[in-house]
Amino acid sequence: MHAINNRVSTIEGGKLDELNIHPVNSSISMTLNQDQLTTTTRLVTSPDLTKSSFSLNGRVYEEVPGRIKDVIIIAQLRARLAGRTNVYPHLCIESINSFPTAAGLASSASGLAALAFGLTELYRLDEDASSLARRGSGSACRSLYGGFVHWIRPNDTLGWTGGFQTLCSSVSKLYPASHWPELKVLICVASSQKKSIGSTTGMQRTVNTSQLFQRARCESVKQHELLLLSALRDRNFDNFARIAMQDSNQLHAVCLDTWPPCIFLTDVSLKIMNWVHAMNRCCGRTVVAYTFDAGPNAFLFAEESNVSFLLHLLALCFGTKSCETTSEVPSGDSSINHVHVTDPVDKMVKNLLFRGIKYPVYSMPIDMELLKALPRHEGGILYVISTEVGDGPRVLASNLP
Amino acid sequence: MHAINNRVSTIEGGKLDELNIHPVNSSISMTLNQDQLTTTTRLVTSPDLTKSSFSLNGRVYEEVPGRIKDVIIIAQLRARLAGRTNVYPHLCIESINSFPTAAGLASSASGLAALAFGLTELYRLDEDASSLARRGSGSACRSLYGGFVHWIRPNDTLGWTGGFQTLCSSVSKLYPASHWPELKVLICVASSQKKSIGSTTGMQRTVNTSQLFQRARCESVKQHELLLLSALRDRNFDNFARIAMQDSNQLHAVCLDTWPPCIFLTDVSLKIMNWVHAMNRCCGRTVVAYTFDAGPNAFLFAEESNVSFLLHLLALCFGTKSCETTSEVPSGDSSINHVHVTDPVDKMVKNLLFRGIKYPVYSMPIDMELLKALPRHEGGILYVISTEVGDGPRVLASNLP
């Protein structure tokens, strides 16, 4: 089973309710296609097990991590209340991500969503897997529905829990993956190193110390939320792109205003941001947008018709070795300079590794002026994962009766 | 004559009054010592000149730049009103900076202050050179007094100009350079390239488009201002350091929240920020602080007693070629690891160029654990200018009657 999510616009921004994990701000996320990015989690339980165990990407942990334990305890409590008979004390959990872990690619949201989904299936729980996932990692609650998902902050949804009125957040599916198939995602992996600061710790520090966050961020998030909802409804790429970029920049601005500062962006991140702005300026319209989660890797958005072109230019500007280029002036028009890449297929593959969805190789000549205007950083991107919006988690195999 | 200023805490943050150049926010600056950083400006006027001319660092401009023209026009107007007889139509201006121009080292503030001071001397004007300098470059108005200077935003100083009530900012000297002689400044020049966006254009865009600026920045600046005034009064390095860093981070946060974003910091800037935080954490107290103007170069602050130590570590972490280090365990205490740099004088000079104030070479062993905890970027810093707070502009030579 699998789940991965990618925040496109608004952020959790710390927790309003630390215990029950409800967010300060609403957020909208896209569930990425599990054909390209996936967490596979195997759950085994039996009365014969004498010890619980947890492994991530093959590494066995000495102890089951705290938040995973929390999710298990709540799932087992729910299962016992529902009268399930297969609630044995120990569980063996093996989880594998097909993409870098703890590098700002939402691996913990993906992992916790997979775990919560698996436990819900294992114990045949009636309750929502999303509320279970939330207890492990706030943003994981958005990864259970597929498509475009809205996590709404408590202010707007007053609820009752166990007889006490509490502030509750709610999660709802906005659109299925099929709503906007032309929208594509290119994940530029600049570094697969682990982050120096976790997003949960970082976000809480932001809420506690950033004056810009305390005085202005929430108001802006509300505006971004409304604008993004309209852009998604209308599949308006131009508006979607602007809000995604503005919100990403504001998120990283409040991170910088945190004390001590949380810096997730690197030189390559900044170069890619400038590259996107230069690209849109040169093209005279918005062809590409970026967003950064709590990490240095860019999530680029583009419409399908532009992806080949963009991948080609990403390879030229951020590939591991510069392409040799030959400049030639087409006869008859001396005012236009073009650059031809000799054997583009071969060069591009050598230049930058592409994973995920395959696109036709872009074979048109590239405008020399455009290439000159774009920032470059040889080897700045390790590889690109081409993906798109996809469905929610699924059961791969089960021997439950 | 010379003037250079360095904003340590608050920023101009765009102009409230575009025409008369009054700032949205108050700011506090330190005038840096002209023994290390200096603008030398030569003014020549005579009835025989047939054309005005302007050169900067030896480069002759085709036309006198607009804001320099503005300053000349106002100075000549004042001179004529005061009945001066040496107001000839043409002026020859030659200006030389002893430090990188347009790289976020306040070269335009320094240059415009020198020009305004020179014109005030040339025409023997009674009025304040500061108000003249402001017309050329807002922040230049702080560079005429020496020591620590406060530029107070219009809100707090309602004034009358020419019979109309207008919003006027005011400039006042807080303390002379002698107030805090132990405070030292280390300018880490990461790049002497010209900025991709000027600070004036950038700041105006921030005021117009950043929601964080519009909703929260001004309130924070007011708080920072009061805290910084106390820290300066008490020569409290700890508080001074924290406010300088927090305000610098917030300034660059609102730059990032600008649309399209203004990014002045680079990978090396971010590394130096992390280096400073790691350094203070390892030392268990605040030994160094940073601030960044509209550029990638760090201005580090430290107390005199720590400067040798800091310069040594800067060379080890950001010099052009790593020092060879030999690790040895002092006899009798196997729990402490030390690193000895072989022939530190020679290595440090090879490693990183130092300009400005000379400090004794640090010859104590460096704790290996400290060195391991510090971020590094070989060749990240081109050179360091060691300086301190200094006096205001002065006349170097004059043949005025």
Confidence band of A18 (pLDDT split at 50, 70, 90) = low
Which of A191, A256, A266 is most worth mutating to test chain B (most B CB atoms within 10 A of its CB)?
A256
What's the ipTM?
0.79
Does residue A323 carry a pLDDT above 60?
no
Chain A: nearest CA to B226, how far in angstroms?
Answer: 16
Confidence band of B295 (pLDDT split at 50, 70, 90) = confident
A153-159: average pLDDT: 59
Does residue B246 carry a pLDDT above 60?
yes
Nearest to B30 by CA among B246, B232, B226, B250: B232
Chain A: nearest CA to B26, how far in angstroms?
Answer: 18
Half-sphere exposure of A93 (CA within 13 A, CB side): 28
Which of A11, A197, A211 is most worth mutating to test chain B (most B CB atoms within 10 A of its CB)?
A211
β-partners of residue B385 are B187, B355
Instruction: Check residues B194 and B399 and name the one with the higher pLDDT.
Output: B399
Confidence band of A120 (pLDDT split at 50, 70, 90) = very high
The token pair at B109 is 């503030």
Question: Which residue in the set A215, A220, A265 is minimally distant from B219, CB to CB?
Answer: A215
Contact criterion met (CB < 8 Å) for B219 and A211? yes
Contact criterion met (CB < 8 Å) for A274 and B263? yes
> Which residues of chain A does B220 touch, with a Cβ-Cβ cutoff of 8 Å?
211-212, 215
* Structure confidence at residue B214 (pLDDT): 92
Chain A: nearest CA to B380, how far in angstroms?
Answer: 12
The token pair at B11 is 């920023």
Question: Which residue in the set B216, B256, B267 is minimally distant from A252, CB to CB?
Answer: B256
> Which chain A residue is nearest to residue B253, measuring alpha carbons?
A253
For residue range A25-66, list pLDDT tens digits in order. Answer: 888 999 999 998 889 999 999 999 999 999 999 999 999 999
Contact criterion met (CB < 8 Å) for B263 and A253? no
Cα separations (Å) of A370 from A364, B230, B325? 14, 52, 46
Chain A: nearest CA to B148, how far in angstroms?
Answer: 25
Distance between CA atoms of B137 and B287, rounded to whole angstroms?
33
Contact criterion met (CB < 8 Å) for A267 and B263? no
Distance between CA atoms of B156 and B138, rounded to whole angstroms?
17
B279-301: average pLDDT: 94
Whether residue A266 contacts residue A297, with contact meaning beta carbons closer than 8 Å, is answered with no
3-state secondary structure of B43: strand
- Phi then psi for residue B191, to 5 deg, are -165, 135
* Structure confidence at residue B350 (pLDDT): 53
| DSSP result, A47-63 | TT--S-EEEETTEEPSS
Whether residue B301 contacts residue B19, with contact meaning beta carbons closer than 8 Å, is answered with no
* Structure confidence at residue A17 (pLDDT): 52
Contact criterion met (CB < 8 Å) for B211 and A261? no
Confidence band of A158 (pLDDT split at 50, 70, 90) = very low
Distance between CA atoms of B171 and B225, rounded to whole angstroms?
14
Q: Tally A–B CB contacts below 8 A.
A: 83
> Which chain A residue is nearest to residue B248, measuring alpha carbons?
A257
> Over chain A, what is the mean pLDDT?
82
**CA–CA–CA angle B101, B102, B103 (5° rounding):** 95
Q: Residues of B at the A interface (Cβ-Cβ below 8 Å)?
A: 211-212, 214-217, 219-220, 223, 242, 246, 249-250, 252-254, 256-257, 259-261, 263, 265-267, 270, 273-274, 277
* Structure confidence at residue B293 (pLDDT): 87
Contact criterion met (CB < 8 Å) for A249 and B257? yes
A162-168: average pLDDT: 53
> Which chain A residue is nearest to residue B263, measuring alpha carbons?
A270
For residue range A337-382, list pLDDT tens digits in order. Answer: 444 444 444 555 455 677 889 888 888 888 889 989 999 888 889 8
User: Which of A126-140, B25-39, B217-231 ranks highest by mean pLDDT?
Assistant: B217-231
For residue range B318-346, list pLDDT tens digits in order. Answer: 887 544 443 333 333 334 344 444 444 45
State pTM to two decimals: 0.83
* Structure confidence at residue A349 (pLDDT): 47
Burial (0-12, 13-18, 19+ Cβ within 10 Å), A38: buried
Chain B: nearest CA to A317, how far in angstroms?
Answer: 18
The region that residue A83 occupies, defined by phi over 0 for left and psi between -120 and 50 for alpha, beta otherwise, is: left
Distance between CA atoms of B390 and B301, rounded to whole angstroms?
15
Instruction: Check residues B194 and B38 and name the one with the higher pLDDT.
Output: B38
For residue range B48-91, list pLDDT tens digits in order. Answer: 999 999 999 999 999 999 989 999 999 999 999 999 999 999 99
B254-275: average pLDDT: 93
Cα separations (Å) of B246 from A382, B11, B241, B250? 33, 12, 9, 6
User: Which of B295-304, B316-325, B373-382 ranks highest by mean pLDDT?
Assistant: B295-304
* Structure confidence at residue B103 (pLDDT): 63
Instruction: Check residues A398 and B102 and name the one with the higher pLDDT.
Output: A398
> By mean pLDDT, which of A12-26, A217-231, A258-272, B93-107 is the weakest?
A12-26
Instruction: Check residues A201 and A239 and name the one with the higher pLDDT.
Output: A239
Contact criterion met (CB < 8 Å) for B212 and A216? yes
The total number of residues shown for chain B amounts to 401
3-state secondary structure of A134: helix
